[in-house]
Chain A
Amino acid sequence: MPRPGFVLEVDKSTPPILFWRGEGFSLERLPADRSRVIYPAEPLAGLDDVDGHIRNALLNPVDMDPLPALLKPDMKLTICFDDASLSLPKMRKPDTRQRIIEAVLDLAAAAGVDDIHLIAALGLHRRMHEYELRHVLGDRIFDAFHPRGMLYQHDAEDYDNLTVIGETDHGEVLEINKRVAESDLVVYANVNQVAMDGGWKSITTGVASYRCLSYHHNPVTLQNTRSLMDRHNSDLHKSVWRLGKVLEDHGPKIFTVETTINTDAFPSPFDFLSKREWEWNAKDRAIYLATQKSLNRTPNRLARKIFHGIESPYATTSVQAGFTPSVHEITLKHVYDQHIVPVEGQTDILTMGIPFISPYNPEGIMNPILVMCMGLGYLFNMYRNKPLVREGGVVIMTHPTYREFNPVHHPSYIDFYDEVLADTTDPVVMSEKWEKKYAEDEWYRHLYRTGNAYHGVHPFYAWYWGAHGQQWAGKVIIVGGDPTAVRRLGFTPASTLDDAFEIASDVVGRSPTISHLHVPGVLVADVV
Chain B
Amino acid sequence: MIAESLAGKRIAITGSTGFVGTALVERLLRSVPDCELVLLVRDGRRTPAPQRVERELLKNDAFDRLREQHAAPDSTETFKQMTARRITTVAGDVSSDGLGLSDDDRLTWSTANLIIHSAASVSFDSPLDRAVEINLLGPTRIAALCQELGVTPHLVAVSTCYVAGNRRGNAPEELVSAGPFDIGLSWKAEVAAARRLQGDTEALSRLPERLVQFRKDARAELGAAGAPALAGKTEQLRERWVKDQLVEAGRARAASVGWPDAYAYTKALGEQALTDTKGNVPVSIVRPSIIESAWAEPKPGWIRGFRMAEPVIISYARGLLKEFPGVPEGTVDVIPVDIVVAALIGVAAAGPDKAPAITQVASGGVNPLKYRAMIDYISGWFTEHPLYDPEGQPILVPEWNFPGRGKVEGQLTRARNMLSRTEKTLQALPLRGRQAEFTATLDSRRTEIESALQYVELYGLYTECEAIYQVDNLIGLWDTLDAHDQAEFNFDPRVVDWEHYITQVHLPSIVQHARVKTTPGKSRSADRMVRLRTQVLDPKRHVVAFDLENTLISSNVVESYSFLATRRLNGPERARYVIRTLAEAPALLKMDKRDRTDFLRHFYRRYEDAPIEQIEEDATAMMHQLIMTKSFPEGLRRVRQHRALGHRTILITGALEFAVAGLKPLFDEIVAAEMSVRPDGTYSGEMKTVPPTGEARAQILSDYCDAEGFRLDECVAYADSSSDLPLFEAVGFPVAVNPETRLAAIARKRGWLVENWSRANGAPKPLLPIGKMMVERERRRVFS
The listed residue (A134, A365, A411, A445) touching B633 by CB distance below 8 A is A411
When C-beta atoms are compared, the residue in chain A nearest to B624 turns out to be A451
The listed residue (B624, B664, B761) touching A404 by CB distance below 8 A is B761
B residues near A450, Cβ cutoff 8 Å: 620, 623-624, 662
CA distance in complex: A301, B777 (Å): 30
Q: Is the pair A411, B628 in contact by a Cβ cutoff of 8 Å?
A: yes
Tell me whether B636 is interfacial, beta carbon within 8 Å.
yes
When C-beta atoms are compared, the residue in chain A nearest to B628 turns out to be A408
The size of the chain B interface, using a CB distance under 8 A, is 26
On whether A418 and B761 interact (CB within 8 A), knowing A134-B775, A450-B624, the answer reads no
Docked complex: A127-144 residues within 8 A CB-CB of B = 130-131, 134, 143
Q: Is the pair A402, B761 in contact by a Cβ cutoff of 8 Å?
A: yes
Q: Is the pair B629, A443 in contact by a Cβ cutoff of 8 Å?
A: no
Docked complex: A291-334 residues within 8 A CB-CB of B = 300-301
Tell me whether B73 is interfacial, beta carbon within 8 Å.
no
CA distance in complex: A453, B633 (Å): 13
B residues near A402, Cβ cutoff 8 Å: 761-762
The listed residue (A367, A408, A414, A418) touching B624 by CB distance below 8 A is A408
* Nearest CB in chain A: distance from B555 CB, A: 12
Query: Which of A365, A407, A408, A451 has the most chain B CB atoms inside 10 A of its CB?
Result: A407
Docked complex: B741-762 residues within 8 A CB-CB of A = 759-762
B residues near A446, Cβ cutoff 8 Å: 664-665
Tell me whether A403 is interfacial, beta carbon within 8 Å.
yes
Q: Is the pair B760, A414 in contact by a Cβ cutoff of 8 Å?
A: yes
Query: Which of A367, A408, A441, A452 has the most chain B CB atoms inside 10 A of its CB?
Result: A408
Tell me whether B763 is interfacial, beta carbon within 8 Å.
yes
Query: Which of B624, B625, B629, B666 has the most chain A CB atoms inside 10 A of its CB?
Result: B624
Tell me whether A415 is interfacial, beta carbon within 8 Å.
yes
A residues near B662, Cβ cutoff 8 Å: 450
On whether A443 and B666 interact (CB within 8 A), knowing A143-B777, A408-B624, the answer reads yes
Tell me whether A447 is interfacial, beta carbon within 8 Å.
yes
Docked complex: B612-645 residues within 8 A CB-CB of A = 620, 623-625, 628-629, 631, 633-634, 636-637, 640
Q: Is the pair A407, B629 in contact by a Cβ cutoff of 8 Å?
A: yes
Q: Is the pair A451, B623 in contact by a Cβ cutoff of 8 Å?
A: yes
* Nearest CB in chain B: distance from A415 CB, A: 5
A residues near B629, Cβ cutoff 8 Å: 407-408
Contact with B along A411-449 (1 / 0, CB 8 A): 100110011000000000000000000000111011100
When C-beta atoms are compared, the residue in chain B nearest to A417 turns out to be B633
When C-beta atoms are compared, the residue in chain A nearest to B644 turns out to be A437
Docked complex: A203-228 residues within 8 A CB-CB of B = none
* Nearest CB in chain B: distance from A269 CB, A: 26
CA distance in complex: A450, B634 (Å): 21
Tell me whether A406 is interfacial, beta carbon within 8 Å.
yes
On whether A452 and B624 interact (CB within 8 A), knowing A419-B637, A443-B666, the answer reads yes
Q: Is the pair A443, B636 in contact by a Cβ cutoff of 8 Å?
A: yes
The listed residue (A131, A418, A451, A453) touching B637 by CB distance below 8 A is A418
Tell me whether B46 is interfacial, beta carbon within 8 Å.
no
CA distance in complex: A115, B353 (Å): 119
CA distance in complex: A300, B765 (Å): 12
When C-beta atoms are compared, the residue in chain B nearest to A450 turns out to be B620
Q: Is the pair B762, A301 in contact by a Cβ cutoff of 8 Å?
A: yes
Q: Is the pair A447, B760 in contact by a Cβ cutoff of 8 Å?
A: no
A residues near B760, Cβ cutoff 8 Å: 404-407, 414
* Nearest CB in chain A: distance from B745 CB, A: 29
Query: Which of A300, A301, A406, A419 has the most chain B CB atoms inside 10 A of its CB?
Result: A406
Q: Is the pair B761, A301 in contact by a Cβ cutoff of 8 Å?
A: no
A residues near B775, Cβ cutoff 8 Å: 130-131, 134
A residues near B665, Cβ cutoff 8 Å: 442-443, 445-446
CA distance in complex: A443, B667 (Å): 10
B residues near A143, Cβ cutoff 8 Å: 777
The listed residue (A403, A408, A441) touching B640 by CB distance below 8 A is A441
CA distance in complex: A445, B664 (Å): 12
On whether A407 and B631 interact (CB within 8 A), knowing A443-B665, A450-B623, A451-B624, the answer reads yes
Query: Tally of A-B residue pairs with Cβ under 8 A?
Result: 71
* Nearest CB in chain A: distance from B633 CB, A: 4
Q: Is the pair A365, B640 in contact by a Cβ cutoff of 8 Å?
A: no
Q: Is the pair B633, A407 in contact by a Cβ cutoff of 8 Å?
A: yes
CA distance in complex: A134, B776 (Å): 13
B residues near A441, Cβ cutoff 8 Å: 640
B residues near A447, Cβ cutoff 8 Å: 624, 628
A residues near B633, Cβ cutoff 8 Å: 405, 407, 411, 414-415, 418
Contact with B along A119-162 (1 / 0, CB 8 A): 00000000000110010000000010000000000000000000
B residues near A365, Cβ cutoff 8 Å: 762
When C-beta atoms are compared, the residue in chain A nearest to B759 turns out to be A407
When C-beta atoms are compared, the residue in chain A nearest to B634 turns out to be A418
Q: Is the pair B628, A451 in contact by a Cβ cutoff of 8 Å?
A: yes
CA distance in complex: A451, B665 (Å): 13
B residues near A131, Cβ cutoff 8 Å: 775
A residues near B634, Cβ cutoff 8 Å: 418
CA distance in complex: A402, B761 (Å): 9
On whether A405 and B761 interact (CB within 8 A), knowing A450-B623, A450-B624, the answer reads yes
B residues near A445, Cβ cutoff 8 Å: 665
Q: Is the pair A406, B763 in contact by a Cβ cutoff of 8 Å?
A: yes
Q: Is the pair A415, B762 in contact by a Cβ cutoff of 8 Å?
A: no
* Nearest CB in chain A: distance from B31 CB, A: 60
Q: Is the pair A415, B637 in contact by a Cβ cutoff of 8 Å?
A: yes
CA distance in complex: A408, B623 (Å): 10
CA distance in complex: A450, B665 (Å): 12
When C-beta atoms are compared, the residue in chain A nearest to B623 turns out to be A451
Docked complex: A387-411 residues within 8 A CB-CB of B = 402-408, 411
CA distance in complex: A452, B629 (Å): 11
A residues near B777, Cβ cutoff 8 Å: 143
Q: Is the pair B623, A407 in contact by a Cβ cutoff of 8 Å?
A: no
CA distance in complex: A405, B637 (Å): 15
When C-beta atoms are compared, the residue in chain B nearest to A451 turns out to be B624
A residues near B764, Cβ cutoff 8 Å: 301, 406, 408
Q: Is the pair A407, B763 in contact by a Cβ cutoff of 8 Å?
A: yes
When C-beta atoms are compared, the residue in chain A nearest to B665 turns out to be A446
On whether A301 and B765 interact (CB within 8 A), knowing A415-B637, A450-B623, the answer reads yes
CA distance in complex: A170, B764 (Å): 45
When C-beta atoms are compared, the residue in chain A nearest to B761 turns out to be A404
B residues near A419, Cβ cutoff 8 Å: 637
CA distance in complex: A330, B107 (Å): 112
CA distance in complex: A415, B760 (Å): 11
* Nearest CB in chain A: distance from B125 CB, A: 49
B residues near A411, Cβ cutoff 8 Å: 628, 633, 636
Docked complex: B194-237 residues within 8 A CB-CB of A = none
Contact with B along A41-54 (1 / 0, CB 8 A): 00000000000000
CA distance in complex: A298, B196 (Å): 74
B residues near A414, Cβ cutoff 8 Å: 633, 760
CA distance in complex: A130, B779 (Å): 13
When C-beta atoms are compared, the residue in chain A nearest to B625 turns out to be A408
B residues near A451, Cβ cutoff 8 Å: 623-624, 628
* Nearest CB in chain B: distance from A195 CB, A: 32
Q: Is the pair B761, A403 in contact by a Cβ cutoff of 8 Å?
A: yes
CB pairs A–B below 8 angstroms (19 shown): A134-B775, A301-B762, A301-B765, A367-B762, A404-B760, A405-B760, A406-B760, A406-B764, A407-B633, A407-B759, A411-B636, A415-B637, A418-B637, A419-B637, A443-B636, A446-B665, A450-B624, A451-B624, A451-B628
Residues on B close to A: CB < 8 A? 620, 623-625, 628-629, 631, 633-634, 636-637, 640, 662, 664-666, 759-765, 775, 777-778
Given contacts A131-B775, A407-B759, 12 further A-B contacts (CB under 8 A): A402-B761, A405-B633, A405-B761, A405-B762, A406-B763, A408-B624, A408-B628, A411-B636, A414-B760, A442-B665, A446-B665, A451-B624
Residues on A close to B: CB < 8 A? 130-131, 134, 143, 300-301, 365, 367, 402-408, 411, 414-415, 418-419, 441-443, 445-447, 450-453
Closest 4 pairs between A and B when the two form their complex, measured CB to CB: A404-B762, A451-B624, A407-B760, A446-B665
